[in-house]
Chains A and B, each alone.
Chain A
Amino acid sequence: MRLVVVGNGMAGSRLISEVRARDPHIKITVFGAETCQPYNRVLLSNVLAGSSRPDQVHLLDSSWYDAHHVNVVLGSPVAHIDRETRHVVTEDGRREPYDLLVLATGSEAVVPPIPGVERAIPFRTLDDCERIMRAAERARRAVVVGGGLLGIEAARGLAGRGLPVTLLHLAGHLMERQLDVEAGEVLGETLAGLGVEIRTGVSADSVQEDGVRLSDGELVEADLVVLACGVRPVTGPAAEAGLEVRRGVVVDDELRTDDPSIFAIGECAEHDGNVYGLVAPAWEQAGVAADVITGGKALYRGSRLVTRLKARSVELAAMGETQLTEEHAEVVRFSHRARGTYRKLVIRDGRLVGAILLGESDAVGTLTQLFDRGGQVPGDRAGLLFPGLSSAPVADSPVLMPDAAKVCQCNNVTKGQIRACWEAGARDVAGVAAATRATTGCGTCRDAVEGIVGWLCEQEGISV
């Protein structure tokens, strides 16, 4: 069988490794529009921030293809799909036959049609990233247009390089699709503290040599303008070939388009009305498609989305339906804006259907997993938001400790036994150790034993 994959990004490269892991024999050809081997787009914000080098984000070594007998054609976008003869045709005219075809063409950056926009650099690919970094070296001020996930990561990254940054956002608060108003504001305050000026509710009218002109006429000065205005699925060849395309290429639970020999996965695909813009669903889809292609029976049933901002010193996780109000759900909220902390749980029918966690929190792992698994939310909501809160206080004072409390784990010695030992005449740790073996194992109870002996002596007015 001949499998052709169009797109060598996160979805396409994942698919070929998943197929190869299941079947060593299928003939695979993959076409990549970019000239480099596949890289992890999630890590581009690290590259922009300077914490990762561009060569640290590759998902596969160039030697991988030979070692796994995969034919890879880089820098060669596919222009047409000839469904009649089952061929794909690249822009430079190469025709490649397929038995099964997977479209993993991803999406492209939305560039708003405003005057001078060509002066700005979109933030989407590794090339974009390198262009921005080069420009940042000479720049004195930067503007990022778009206050979604990517725009915030870009702004934080540039600010981390010491560049003054202004973030322009059309909506009333940042990441309005994932966050409620208050969370968006707290996030803005946190970013402001890190050197990112936040301007919400503003619209860019044009990009000029000296900055971005807003619709109210104000000029926001900048000599570097980065665009993060969202993405749109790349569906051109699919639409032209007559496949059903709405926002994305429409697929069923096997990730097949309406042509059973053609699959679509990742950001170019639309499943059950959803086009996902995150990597987790793309990889889930790649796994399912690889299974189906190799004869398995896996089905894709949609993904739960957890958005995790990757920006140094900003911890933000948002998942599910974060905007529901008390009318429709149980909402548990804690806000401490002075510390940049905001935590919100949205619970319906005893299940966690949404959450926002802003600021460092040990709850993030538990909540993400609870959301992913659709598990029952425990009655103690506070304990969920504040791990450790419900732990019983440790009675380390010898006065408060009950006699049955185990003091020495290694030798199973209780406070009562130490008291008895003291009553029998032992007046120091050595005496207690000789009689009970307390402190002779790991040794970590020595202070506690000392405390108890000291307290007993004090009770009796004996100085030690």
Chain B
Amino acid sequence: MTAPVKTHCPYCALQCGMEIGPELAIRPRTDIPANASGALCQKGWTAGELLTNGERLTTPLLHGEPVEWDVALDYVADRLSAIRAEHGPDAVAVFGGGGLTNEKAYHLGKFARVALRTSQIDYNGRFCMSSAAAASGKAFGMDRGMPFPITDLAGADVVLLAGGNVAETMPPFVRHLTGPRMIVIDPRRTQTAKLAWLHLQPTPGTDLALALGLLHLAIADDLVDEAYVAARTTGYDEVRTSLASWWPERVERITGVPVYRMRQAVRALAAAGNAYILTGRGAEQHAKGTDTVSAFINLALALGLPGRHGSGYGCVTGQGNGQGGREHGQKADQLPGYRKIDDPAAREHVAGVWGVRPEDLPGPGRSAYELLDALGTPGGPRALLLFGSNPVISAPAAEHVAERIGALDLLVTCDFVMSETAALADVVFPVTQWAEESGTMTNLEGRVLLRRQAVTPPEGVRSDLEVLAGLAKRLGHTFATEPAEVFDELRRASAGGPADYSGITYERIEAETGVFWPCPEIGHPGTPRPFLDSFATPDGRARFVPVQHRPPAEEADEDYPVYLSTGRVLAHYQSGAQTRRIAALVQAAPEPYVELHPDLAEQLDIAAGDVVRVSSRRGEAKAVARISDAIRRDTVFMPFHWEGANRLTNPALDPTSKMPEFKVCAVRVERDS
């Protein structure tokens, strides 16, 4: 290898630009706006080790034994056919991931619906930003995480971030926030909250009440942008009436956030010439996550922010291709181009591209947790094909999920390291990873980016696209394996849909360092700010959605008296399957821990460094105690990159988005004797 190859980081939704040079040296690019200042975090700098760390899978495994590719593919295809023949097409399920390229996500959906004809496909993005996606769809008629370029943030006077810790989850993001005053809502004083001008520290599970309280104050203090509300929205009156029940003193009692702090926040937002309201997983990963985001969007609409140059609402998407991954059909209820699978016109268009009859496309299937929960049950799937996900670590009530996976007749995974879930599989296909293959990723701004292959994959591994094509061929279908070819088909399939990629090409992405969707024609410049003139609703107006607060699915009580919240640390990514194999990252964050307040520690007789047992109604985990007054007295925090935290979390689902309640459940904390 000689010249450095331009690509992007393998991790989060910021998709920092990087070059991979000789000896796999990583250098930040300066032409990608997300990290144009040349920033990378430790995960990015050390990403090269993913390619060389020696734990790489390079041969297919059948019941743990190395086998030839044809043997493994034949075996899987035969078993799939047999299970389908005996139990019907829905007995085979597919589970994808928000880290997969657009091309893979697209082919995964097509493979499920065309080759397997199963409705049972969903993905771990359901655990990511599905609540924000649902709420954005309701309000704006379209979900594009941040409907503005990330660089716009720097020009704002105030940015409110509800439930996001970007200083740890995507550090270079912070460089876009050095100008604005930051208001951070988080039960913990996180690295991000420490940068804030104002930190509101609510009880876990009460962000919705807080958002209602903020909007109540905006109305009571006459801070609503009435002209904007009249010109660009519908539904305000009903929302206004519904807010009479959420006066700030009531909200204070529920959230623990002092009224005067709420008032400071609202006044700062209203006084700002330009302001943004952003939500992250902290606000979204709840059984009421969709309503919580709706409440924050209502606040943004009342203040006249969305669809204005320099202001707006955005969701800070988490996974590498969290945005693109939700657009092209690996979601239970979707077809490519962010189309709905129950929309007859959408079915007809996509069936046409796929060369099948619309009536042969299955309907909507189970959502992610519902799918995992049904595995191996009567009427549930008996076989699971898993791509780019590690649910044994990342799903809620993880022990239960592992049990369900154990009840399958067939588990097939595609992985490049032996993840905890791959270790349970009947068949493991060793696949290529980021720098060994090409493909597009759509980052948190909705900017479609190109990851170019930079290195030659190890001998013996194949791409996910090749695995799908190999299986499809054995099931009687022809699937392309070249990413560029798959992307061309994706463009046609997405044409006319909300997420229209038809005008985007690899060449354009390279020349323009990314293209914003929707981009319906080759000559179209892309759409950095889609809502400036009108929203994507039938009447072009944004919709206020009346919502009411309700308590978490599980409240602290005598048996489980403490709230647990979960989240990320800087050195690790998602289930840690990649980052827990990189020496520098392990050194930075070697083990799971539980963070608790000194007062709670005193009450429980726990000292820093003690091994602590944390239990919930669903399971138990051990971790090392860290004492910190950055957390509320009534709450403990555990990172979810290791086995343990998600044994405790609550699979109560949001009725709309089917998001599990990762961010709050009730636990008991004890010193491990």
Chain A positions near chain B (C-beta within 8 angstroms): 39-40, 42-43, 46, 51-52, 56-61, 279-280, 306, 308, 310, 315, 360-362, 364-366, 368-369, 372-373, 375-376, 378-380, 383, 390-392, 409-412, 437, 440-444
B167 and A409 form a contact (CB under 8 A): yes
**B479 → A minimal CB distance (Å):** 40
A380 to B603: give the CA distance in the assembly, Å: 11
B38 and A440 form a contact (CB under 8 A): yes
Residues of A within 8 A of B584 (CB): 412
Interface residues of B in 551-573 (CB under 8 A from A): 556, 570-571
19 pairs across A/B with beta carbons < 8 Å? Answer: A43-B247, A51-B221, A52-B220, A308-B259, A364-B258, A365-B252, A365-B258, A366-B256, A390-B629, A409-B167, A409-B171, A409-B570, A410-B42, A412-B571, A440-B28, A442-B39, A442-B167, A442-B175, A444-B178
Cross-chain contact of B41 among A362, A390, A411, A444 (Cβ < 8 A): A411
B256 and A368 form a contact (CB under 8 A): yes
Residues of A within 8 A of B600 (CB): 378
**A439 → B minimal CB distance (Å):** 9
Q: Mark B189-216, 1 if CB is under 8 A from A, else 0.
A: 0010001000000010000000000000
**B30 → A minimal CB distance (Å):** 12
Residues of B within 8 A of A306 (CB): 253
A368 to B251: give the CA distance in the assembly, Å: 11
B220 and A56 form a contact (CB under 8 A): yes
Interface residues of B in 243-292 (CB under 8 A from A): 244-245, 247, 249-250, 252-253, 255-261
Q: Does B599 contact A (CB under 8 A)?
A: yes
**A231 → B minimal CB distance (Å):** 19
B45 and A362 form a contact (CB under 8 A): no
Residues of B within 8 A of A375 (CB): 634
Q: Does B240 contact A (CB under 8 A)?
A: yes
A368 to B249: give the CA distance in the assembly, Å: 11
Cross-chain contact of A437 among B42, B250, B255 (Cβ < 8 A): B42
Residues A369 and B203 in contact in the complex (CB < 8 Å), given A43-B244, A378-B633: yes
**B248 → A minimal CB distance (Å):** 8
A58 and B45 form a contact (CB under 8 A): no
A56 to B240: give the CA distance in the assembly, Å: 7
A61 and B241 form a contact (CB under 8 A): yes
Cross-chain contact of B260 among A51, A56, A315 (Cβ < 8 A): A315
Q: Does B353 contact A (CB under 8 A)?
A: no
A369 and B634 form a contact (CB under 8 A): yes
Residues of A within 8 A of B633 (CB): 366, 378
B244 and A443 form a contact (CB under 8 A): no
Residues of A within 8 A of B37 (CB): 443
Cross-chain contact of A40 among B28, B174, B245 (Cβ < 8 A): B245
Residues of B within 8 A of A440 (CB): 28, 38-40, 45
A411 and B45 form a contact (CB under 8 A): yes
Among B40, B41, B174, B571, find the residue whose CB has the most chain A CB atoms closer than 10 A. B41
**A259 → B minimal CB distance (Å):** 30
A362 and B261 form a contact (CB under 8 A): yes
Look across to chain B and name the residue whose beta carbon is closest to the beta carbon of A388: B629
A378 and B221 form a contact (CB under 8 A): no
Residues A411 and B42 in contact in the complex (CB < 8 Å), given A365-B256, A368-B252, A375-B634: yes
Q: Does B510 contact A (CB under 8 A)?
A: no
Q: Does B598 contact A (CB under 8 A)?
A: yes
Residues A58 and B253 in contact in the complex (CB < 8 Å), given A362-B261, A444-B167: no
A443 and B39 form a contact (CB under 8 A): yes
**B221 → A minimal CB distance (Å):** 6
**B131 → A minimal CB distance (Å):** 22
**A319 → B minimal CB distance (Å):** 10
Residues of B within 8 A of A58 (CB): 241, 244
**A170 → B minimal CB distance (Å):** 26
Residues of A within 8 A of B571 (CB): 412
Interface residues on chain B, size class: 35 or more
Closest 8 CB pairs of A and B: A365-B256, A378-B599, A442-B174, A441-B171, A412-B588, A442-B171, A308-B249, A410-B171
A349 to B124: give the CA distance in the assembly, Å: 48
**Seed contacts A60-B241, A383-B599, A437-B40; 6 additional CB < 8 Å A-B pairs:** A279-B250, A308-B259, A373-B556, A379-B602, A392-B629, A442-B174
Look across to chain A and name the residue whose beta carbon is closest to the beta carbon of B598: A390
B258 and A442 form a contact (CB under 8 A): no
Look across to chain A and name the residue whose beta carbon is closest to the beta carbon of B255: A365
Cross-chain contact of A442 among B172, B247, B603 (Cβ < 8 A): B172
Residues of A within 8 A of B591 (CB): none
Cross-chain contact of B250 among A51, A280, A364 (Cβ < 8 A): A280
B252 and A364 form a contact (CB under 8 A): yes
Residues of B within 8 A of A315 (CB): 258-260
A462 to B171: give the CA distance in the assembly, Å: 33
B220 and A412 form a contact (CB under 8 A): no
Residues of B within 8 A of A410 (CB): 41-42, 167, 171, 570
**B305 → A minimal CB distance (Å):** 21
A90 to B172: give the CA distance in the assembly, Å: 68
Look across to chain B and name the residue whose beta carbon is closest to the beta carbon of A51: B220
**A441 → B minimal CB distance (Å):** 4
Look across to chain B and name the residue whose beta carbon is closest to the beta carbon of A413: B42
Residues of A within 8 A of B221 (CB): 51
Residues A59 and B244 in contact in the complex (CB < 8 Å), given A51-B220, A409-B168, A441-B172: yes
A46 to B220: give the CA distance in the assembly, Å: 8
A234 to B599: give the CA distance in the assembly, Å: 46
**B493 → A minimal CB distance (Å):** 38
**B444 → A minimal CB distance (Å):** 16
Residues of B within 8 A of A42 (CB): 247, 249-250
**A157 → B minimal CB distance (Å):** 13
A372 to B255: give the CA distance in the assembly, Å: 12
A51 to B195: give the CA distance in the assembly, Å: 33
A441 and B41 form a contact (CB under 8 A): yes
Among B240, B258, B259, B599, find the residue whose CB has the most chain A CB atoms closer than 10 A. B258
A352 to B450: give the CA distance in the assembly, Å: 59
**B234 → A minimal CB distance (Å):** 15
**A152 → B minimal CB distance (Å):** 14
Cross-chain contact of A360 among B260, B556, B603 (Cβ < 8 A): B260
A391 to B632: give the CA distance in the assembly, Å: 13
Residues of A within 8 A of B173 (CB): 442
Cross-chain contact of B256 among A39, A40, A369, A390 (Cβ < 8 A): A369
Q: Does B673 contact A (CB under 8 A)?
A: no
Q: Does B222 contact A (CB under 8 A)?
A: yes
A379 to B601: give the CA distance in the assembly, Å: 11
Residues A361 and B258 in contact in the complex (CB < 8 Å), given A412-B588, A443-B37: yes
Residues of A within 8 A of B629 (CB): 390-392
